[in-house]
Structure 1
Amino acid sequence: MKLLLSLLVFSFLTACSVGNLPNNLSRSMMNQEDPEVVAAGAPAYLLLLDALILTYPDDEEFLLAGARLYGAYAGVFAEDESQAKLMANKAMDYARRALCEYDDDLCLATEGQLDELTTLLNDEYDEDDVPVVYAFASAWAGWIQANSDDWNAIAQVGKVKAMMQWVVGYEPDYDNATVQVYLGVLETQLPPSLGGKPEVGRNYFEQALAYTNDRHLMAKVLFAKQYARLLFDQELHDRLLQETLDADPEMEGLTLINTLAQRQAAELLAESAEYFE
């Protein structure tokens, strides 16, 4: 068995250069239609990336790949809140290290005041910086979600939102418009009476669907879960979920998340009558 595993790792590494490995790992996972395959294989991917980061501790690409995969595992496959928090913390650590390797000033600004971060982004950075800013903001959003019982974490939402909005200013359809989905969720966390902006969130969800020709199924599910449930709109809720279930989940870069969206849609739709009664 050990020999077989060694051969598998060797053949995998020789099939693609080490430099291409992070992107190939992410792409292979995102295009997998069977979540169980990813759930079973993801720990091995994570250990492999940990080893690469130990070997190349200053490599931004490996650090960002580690942040993405640990963040994805925390959000989708973690078995409980404790494991989700550990994974999200690891993702955030890798993302911050990558950002600090990339640019000291921007790294420092994320720890300062919101207006200082926003001013720096607008004055000093451009579309070339979008990938690293988005990767860091994504990991940060996941970390806040995993630590939602900590008000110090919740207080950082404004900075994440500012970074995501900055990305939208350059590439509104970035990451298959998932940047729009992040913003939709951030704006629908609270009802209007507590400072939430659900109509702004609705616009972000609709933008995500427009940019992907309705193919981003998790955008539909979160639109239903975050917005329709918040405003108690059962007709919209059930329509979005049924459309998700009726859709073809296969799409480059979204197949895995679309498949998971369909599973979640089935669960939410089954609860609909009880929720809205």
Structure 2
Amino acid sequence: MKQWRAVCSVVLLLIVQGCAVNRIGDNLAKGIEDNNDLVLVGEGLPSYLLMVDGLILTWPERTSLLRAGADLYGAYAGLFVEDPDRAATLNEKALDYAMRAACSQRSDYCDLRQTPVPEFEALLAEAGDEDLPLLFTLGSAWAGYIQTHSDDWNAVAELARVRALMERVVTLDEGYQNGQAHMYLGVLNSLLPASLGGQPEQAKAHFEQAVALSQGRNLLARVLYAEHYARLVFDRELHDAQLHKVLEADPEQPGLTLQNVYAQQQAQRLLDSADAYF
């Protein structure tokens, strides 16, 4: 854990010396994203979380720090926490930070969960390029929250708001974060089969666009394509082809390395269970 204490010390020293707090918030998540050691990150990330909590206590309305907190808590809950109750608690904190970031950036975003859907969509229609990072962080944190609160119908009812956020991200810049908004929309459209109101063909199009926009570097897009679409429509050939491509790829890609290493683990898990599923 010494290396993580050193990172914290350096960051705090830079703050004392007058380094821009916005830049610190933006760079915290990047250092995690480019690490290829899931075990190291899993053991060390709680130190980052505690540090971000402390920074936010000092600068409670700093949008970049609140966004960093939302991203880091969401990533930790999604990648490293298996206990469902703990994951739910961490995702709740991620969403709280994301909502606070939204409010700190735009005062008309301070009550988004209670805003009627038509007004919510109207607010999103006014969002510009400068709001793009916030919209993506908010949509990601909200999706994670709903996933770990799926037994709460009030939470599930908010899926339409997550969809609207990601659709606005796609409209503003579909290539943002290697097309990951398309990845989220792919999952949202494949939650149910077509017979129950799902939209699997739209899901397929979103997954394929996510892969294309990242030039195949976003390996998690292929894993989710296999898990959520190919399994939904019982396409074993597509399922296995996507997962083999993931396992054959180089996971070390700027901004995607940690996620890609995790994707390769999940690809192997899905292949190992394919005979039983299909």
Compared CA separation, residues 210 and 6, structure 1 to 2 (3 A): closer
What residue in structure 1 maps to residue 93 of structure 2?
A: 90
> Please, which of 97, 115, 119 is the counterpart of residue 116 of structure 1?
119
Compared CA separation, residues 274 and 91, structure 1 to 2 (3 A): same
Preserved contact between residue 11 and residue 24 of structure 2 (Cα < 8 Å)? no
| Whole-Å separation in 2 of the counterparts to 1:27 and 1:143 | 22
Deviates most, 21-30 or 153-162: 21-30
> Please, which of 14, 25, 28 is the counterpart of residue 25 of structure 1?
28
> Please, which of 149, 152, 162 is the counterpart of residue 151 of structure 2?
149
Following superposition, the deviation at residue 102 of structure 1 comes to 1.4
* Percent of matched pairs sharing the same residue: 45
| 1:64 and 2:63 correspond | no
Preserved contact between residue 8 and residue 48 of structure 2 (Cα < 8 Å)? no
What residue in structure 2 maps to residue 11 of structure 1?
A: 10
| 1:161 and 2:163 correspond | yes
What residue in structure 2 maps to residue 41 of structure 1?
A: 44
> Please, which of 146, 149, 173 is the counterpart of residue 175 of structure 2?
173
Aligned length: 274
Deviates most, 27-36 or 130-139: 130-139
Deviant stretches of 4+, over 6 Å: none
| 1:100 and 2:103 correspond | yes
Preserved contact between residue 74 and residue 84 of structure 1 (Cα < 8 Å)? yes
What residue in structure 1 maps to residue 200 of structure 2?
A: 198
Following superposition, the deviation at residue 10 of structure 1 comes to 2.2
Unaligned runs of 5+ in 2: none
Following superposition, the deviation at residue 149 of structure 1 comes to 1.4
Deviates most, 178-187 or 219-228: 178-187
Following superposition, the deviation at residue 219 of structure 1 comes to 0.2
Unaligned runs of 5+ in 1: none
Following superposition, the deviation at residue 79 of structure 1 comes to 3.0
**One-letter amino acid of the structure 2 residue matched with residue 201 of structure 1:** A
Q: Structure 1, residues 196-228: CA drift from partner, whole Å, max 9, x if none?
A: 111101111100111111111000000000000
Partner-residue secondary structure (3-state), 2:250? coil
| Whole-Å separation in 2 of the counterparts to 1:39 and 1:18 | 27
CA-based RMSD of the aligned residues comes to 1.8
What residue in structure 2 maps to residue 230 of structure 1?
A: 232
Report the TM-score when normalising by structure 1.
0.94
| Whole-Å separation in 1 of the counterparts to 2:157 and 2:9 | 45
